[in-house]
Amino acid sequence: MSNSDDSSKGPRGRAGTVRLLTAAVFALAGLIFVTSFNTSKGTNIRTDDSMRKLSDLIHERSRGNTALEQSAGALRKQVDALAERDNGSSDAEDARLRALQAGAGTQEITGKALSVTLNDAPPDAKARIPNVPEPQPNDLVIHQQDVQAVVNALWQGGAKGIQVMDQRLISTSAVRCVGNTLILQGRVYSPPFKVTAVGDPAALRKSLAASPAIQNYQLYVNAYGLGWKVDEHKALTLPGYSGTVDLHYAKPVESATASR
């Protein structure tokens, strides 16, 4: 009988423990909900305020980078003027230096030009062609590969110099998009995005038309109304690149290397 009594008390003891743990879990959950409510003050924790603050910070840094680039460009012009005055080099050396500067994109360039403007489609855009599915949000915005495709096609078309928005491209320039904004050399731009190239307009147009990536983009232009505009200019001057020309590259961490 004693063994029977002990076994009958065992399950009831475990059931009581389970009820106690269940009550504790609910109490903890209630505490978490109250804490979350007090933290968010009754609103959604992930509000647009945090995103707005981040956007403001990005634009503030972009304006700061613009001011620094303008200052650096002015100082570089002074240095170049002093170097040209005092270098004592021959005419051939001067000509070679100017050619290198032109190739590097640090000097302004003037000539016939072609500009391409890309823009988002209206947010409420519908399919314009029968039997085409209705657009998804990503179908209506300019992507990084779209801008890159235009830049690459213009280079292939023999462009002597390219400017994206108000910045001259050089060999280390990287065209990147975050969301629907363009980040170029530390500065942020919103659509429409304008790419301008100095060169033979006919050759540049031919290269644009031959690009498979741009042909694909044109499908979305026709289907959903993405922006595409090409303009020719009889004479246009692109400014020289005025930002830093220092190369940035990864370096091994000394402490990590020493510990191995």
- Cα distances from 110 to residues 76, 107, 152, in angstroms, run 20, 10, 20
pLDDT for the residue 107: 85
Q: Edge-to-edge strands of the sheet including 187-189? A: 175-178, 181-184, 187-189
**Could you give phi then psi for residue 198, rounded to 5 degrees?**
-90, 125
pLDDT for the residue 252: 81
Q: Which CATH number fits domain 48-238: 3.30.70.1880, 3.40.50.1980, 3.90.1150.10, 3.40.50.2300?
A: 3.30.70.1880
Residue 205's nearest CA partner among 158, 165, 169 is 158
Q: CA-CA distance, 88 to 198, in Å (whole number)?
A: 32
Residue 196's nearest CA partner among 115, 117, 108 is 115
pLDDT for the residue 156: 97
Q: CA-CA distance, 54 to 64, in Å (whole number)?
A: 15
The residue whose two tokens read 């001011």 is: 67
Q: What is the dihedral of CA 145, 150, 57, 136, to 10 degrees?
A: -50
Mean pLDDT of 233-243: 89
pLDDT for the residue 79: 58
Strand, helix or coil for residue 250: coil
Q: CA-CA distance, 172 to 184, in Å (whole number)?
A: 11
pLDDT for the residue 142: 95
Residue ranges of E strands in 41-192: 109-119, 161-164, 167-168, 175-178, 181-184, 187-189
Confidence check: pLDDT of 64 > 80: no
Mean pLDDT of 188-216: 97
Q: What is the mean pLDDT of the chain?
A: 76
Mean pLDDT of 166-178: 88
Structural tokens at position 117: 């403007």
pLDDT greater at residue 83 or residue 3: 83
Q: CA-CA distance, 169 to 99, in Å (whole number)?
A: 17
pLDDT for the residue 17: 55
Q: CA-CA distance, 101 to 245, in Å (whole number)?
A: 12
Peptide bond into 192 cis (omega under 30): yes
DSSP state of 247: -
Confidence check: pLDDT of 11 > 50: no
Mean pLDDT of 212-229: 97
Helices 144-156, 212-224: crossing angle, 10 deg rounding: 130
